[in-house]
Amino acid sequence: MLSEIRLFNQKKVLFVDDKPFYAVAGEVHNSDSSSIEYMEGIWKIADELGLNTLLLPLTWELTEPKEGEFDFSIPDALINQARTNNKRIIFLWFGSWKNAEMMYAPEWVKRDRKRFKRAEIVKGEAKSLRSMGPYTMPYYSLSYLCEETMHADANAFSKLMRHIKDVDESFGTVIGIQVENETGLLGNSREVSDEADLAFESGVPDEFAEYMRNNTDSMHEDVREAITSSKKSGNWSEVFGAVADEVFSAYHISKYVNYVAVKGMAEYKLPTFANCWLAHKGEKPGQYPSGGPVSRMHEVWRYCAPAIDVFSPDIYVPDFMDVCDDYSKSQPLFIPEAATHSYAASRLAYCIGHYHAMGYSPFGFDDIGKPFTMVQGFLFGMDVNDPALKTPQDYGIYSWFGKTLSAMMPVLANRYGTDDLQALCAERASSESTMDFGKIKIAGVFEHPYLQLNGNGVILAVKMSEEEYFIIGYQAAVSIIPGDAKNFDILEFEEGKFVDECWVRGRRLNGDEGTNFTMADPQLYRVRIHTYNDEI
Ligand code: DGJ
């Protein structure tokens, strides 16, 4: 097995080629991987940014353009390109769902609305209207209750997985697969066809109702409240009260996704992900895709979709860290999509250093450094009063972080699940400002009287031994302070980089620089410290 999730230091960690691994990744724009010629230029950018993994869509429509006729020329070519460019791939299966819609379903599915039923969103209508900024677009989605579509999707997915096994098992270029994309229903909190109403009025399976009642600890308050104050058995409203519609949608969607995943995994087992369109604060199910793997529905998904290893958030909302907290509670953190504003690089380092994340992947990474498009402006929250959210990520800075963190993979990933790898960031500075490494502590400074810091800083520190540390920092300063030991001397303080997994020293900095560890630009330092308790 070349790629799998294993328990390592009591934490679930992605292993690739028998070693702990994190994906310093980037997701391409939806259409890029449909053209091999177009992709030629993208690998070069990935390389410049130091990425080790690309997230690439594969669509049902191009995989099975005619029913029963499969075309794997695109995955084959992408896998070859990745090997030539020394990169890994996580494929994204755009099957029945893409952004809660059905745009990548094949033509033969779209044309046959009797066989491949649409979701009835308004009674008698398989359509609703969605406003997106200045535009209003019709919205259609395939029905999550239609077994015919589920079987057809699963059949195509399993053929794809079989093919990936045939061409890639002995290489391991493909290290993971996302099953569907941003599932859920928009426009209503559940489907409302006669069939859906009938299912909603029927009894909730007892085992599921019991599981939900017995697993309320990690639930959002309103979900827990609705479940604990409702009947133990009965129809969906009776058992799930105020959250019944969303639970009903989540139950059917997660079972559908699980079915597709199981069929695929029976052919070739890879780590699986289900990515999530998050709810903005105050939104109701249906305003965000109802039934998708939002954290409030994780218990439903855990019960119904055991074939999915990780529920992964697409984070464009400003409260990035709260989302990471939510999605790392009982699973590894994997962020398949993140905004490319000026927090992007720092968040990459923080996700690795603090959450020991499986992967982090800016969406449309080839846009890094360019002015925002209208869509990005809308997605990244241009209306939010934070200059860092309105500033595009600097290309050179992201490249420094990507290359440095990729080169440090063994140093950092081997310490996943331990306190020897920690991080601080400006976004969290008010609540977490010190890393405790036992004999010493490292305190972060994100507001400095002599430095103009942007508020998007980060510090990552790794303890190699009682004496030796590496510190990455940007838009920050650190002070090393006594921990369990009363005194310490800095023996060595140097800058440098990792080449072929080995530290290559640059300047020795024991003079002025050692008295103030400032890191306005990205820095990687090695520090050796002698600690002692006896009086001087
Ligand atoms: C989230 C989706 O998962 C992506 O495929 C893409 O549509 C981005 N949103 C927005 O550009």
Asked if the model's pLDDT at residue 1 lies above 70, the reply is no
pLDDT of residue 164: 98
Mean pLDDT confidence for 81-92: 98
pLDDT of residue 248: 98
d(CA 348, CA 485): 32
**DSSP for 307-356, written as a single string:** T--EEEEEE-SS-HHHHHHHHTSSS--EEEEE--BTTHHHHHHHHHHTS-
pLDDT, tens digit (0-9, with 9 covering 90-100), for 342-390: 999 999 999 999 999 999 999 999 999 998 887 787 777 656 678 888 8
Per the CB < 8 A criterion, the answer to whether 297 and 246 are in contact is: yes
Q: What is residue 203's DSSP assignment?
A: B
Sign of CA dihedral 12, 16, 21, 26: negative
Contacts of residue 390, Cβ cutoff 8 Å, sequence gap at least 6: 341, 372, 380, 382, 384
Contacts of residue 341, Cβ cutoff 8 Å, sequence gap at least 6: 372, 380, 388, 389, 390, 391, 392, 393
Provide the token pair at 183: 């599932």
pLDDT of residue 381: 65
Provide the token pair at 295: 């954290």
pLDDT, tens digit (0-9, with 9 covering 90-100), for 345-355: 999 999 999 99
What atom of ligand 1 comes closest to residue 182's alpha carbon? 3
Task: Quickly list H helices, 135-243.
Answer: 147-168, 194-201, 206-214, 221-228, 236-240
Q: What percent of the chain has pLDDT over 90?
A: 88
pLDDT of residue 317: 86
d(CA 194, CA 520): 61
φ, ψ at 461 (rounded to 5°)? -130, 140
**DSSP for 60-72, written as a single string:** HHHH-SBTTB---
Per the CB < 8 A criterion, the answer to whether 293 and 258 are in contact is: no
β-strand 128-132 against 135-139: which pairing, if any? antiparallel
Distances (CA, A) of 476 to 162, 404, 439: 48, 17, 22
| The Cα angle at residue 101 between residues 97 and 103, in degrees rounded to 5 | 85
**Three-class SS state of 502:** strand
Distance 171 CA to ligand 1 centre (A): 29
> What's the mean per-residue pLDDT of the chain?
95
Q: What percent of the chain has pLDDT over 70?
A: 99
E-state strands within 345-457: 359-362, 421-425, 434-436, 440-445
φ, ψ at 192 (rounded to 5°)? -130, 25
Q: Is 181 in the pocket of ligand 1 (CB under 6 A)?
A: yes
| Closest C-alpha to ligand 1, atom 8 | 363
φ, ψ at 384 (rounded to 5°)? -85, 145
CA 278 to chain centre: 12
Q: Is 312 in the pocket of ligand 1 (CB under 6 A)?
A: no
Q: Is 99 in the pocket of ligand 1 (CB under 6 A)?
A: yes
Asked if the model's pLDDT at residue 143 lies above 70, the reply is yes
CA dihedral 225, 303, 359, 460 (to 10 degrees): 50
The preferred substitution site among 58, 277, 340, 363 for testing ligand 1, maximizing ligand atoms within 8 Å of CB, is: 363
- Tell which residue, 527, 404, 377, has the closest CA to residue 458: 404
Distance 364 CA to ligand 1 centre (A): 9
Mean pLDDT confidence for 50-55: 98
pLDDT of residue 193: 98
Distances (CA, A) of 57 to 32, 38, 478: 8, 14, 41
pLDDT of residue 172: 97
Between 379 and 12, the more confident residue is: 12
- Residue 513 parent element (H or E): helix 512-515
CA 232 to chain centre: 35
pTM: 0.97
**Three-class SS state of 458:** strand
For tokens 């080449």, the residue is 499
Distance 99 CA to ligand 1 centre (A): 7
Distance 342 CA to ligand 1 centre (A): 19
pLDDT, tens digit (0-9, with 9 covering 90-100), for 258-313: 999 999 999 999 999 999 999 988 999 999 999 999 999 999 999 999 999 999 99
Provide the token pair at 106: 């094949």
Residue 107: pLDDT band (50, 70, 90) is: very high
| The Cα angle at residue 365 between residues 174 and 500, in degrees rounded to 5 | 60
Q: Is 182 in the pocket of ligand 1 (CB under 6 A)?
A: yes
Strand partners for 136: 131
For tokens 């959210």, the residue is 389
Q: Is 59 in the pocket of ligand 1 (CB under 6 A)?
A: no
Terminal-residue alpha carbon distance, the chain:
55
Asked if the model's pLDDT at residue 166 lies above 80, the reply is yes
pLDDT of residue 382: 59
Q: Is 340 in the pocket of ligand 1 (CB under 6 A)?
A: no
| Strand order across the beta sheet in which 440-445 lies | 434-436, 440-445, 476-482, 517-519
Length of the chain: 536
Provide the token pair at 73: 């020329």
Per the CB < 8 A criterion, the answer to whether 105 and 60 are in contact is: yes
pLDDT, tens digit (0-9, with 9 covering 90-100), for 464-498: 999 999 999 999 999 999 999 999 999 999 999 99
Mean pLDDT confidence for 21-32: 98
The preferred substitution site among 27, 130, 181, 366 for testing ligand 1, maximizing ligand atoms within 8 Å of CB, is: 181
Provide the token pair at 74: 């695109």
Mean pLDDT confidence for 59-70: 98
**Three-class SS state of 526:** strand
Distances (CA, A) of 378 to 244, 389, 529: 31, 11, 47
Q: Is 361 in the pocket of ligand 1 (CB under 6 A)?
A: no
Distance 95 CA to ligand 1 centre (A): 14
| Closest C-alpha to ligand 1, atom 6 | 30
pLDDT of residue 383: 61
Residue 452: pLDDT band (50, 70, 90) is: confident
Per the CB < 8 A criterion, the answer to whether 359 and 175 are in contact is: no
Mean pLDDT confidence for 159-182: 98
| Closest C-alpha to ligand 1, atom 5 | 30
Q: Which of 243-252, 449-458, 463-472 has the lowest mean pLDDT?
A: 449-458
Mean pLDDT confidence for 96-124: 97
pLDDT of residue 536: 62
- Tell which residue, 435, 445, 408, 432, has the closest CA to residue 519: 445
What atom of ligand 1 comes closest to residue 376's alpha carbon? 11
Q: Is 96 in the pocket of ligand 1 (CB under 6 A)?
A: no
Q: Is 337 in the pocket of ligand 1 (CB under 6 A)?
A: yes
Per the CB < 8 A criterion, the answer to whether 142 and 95 are in contact is: no
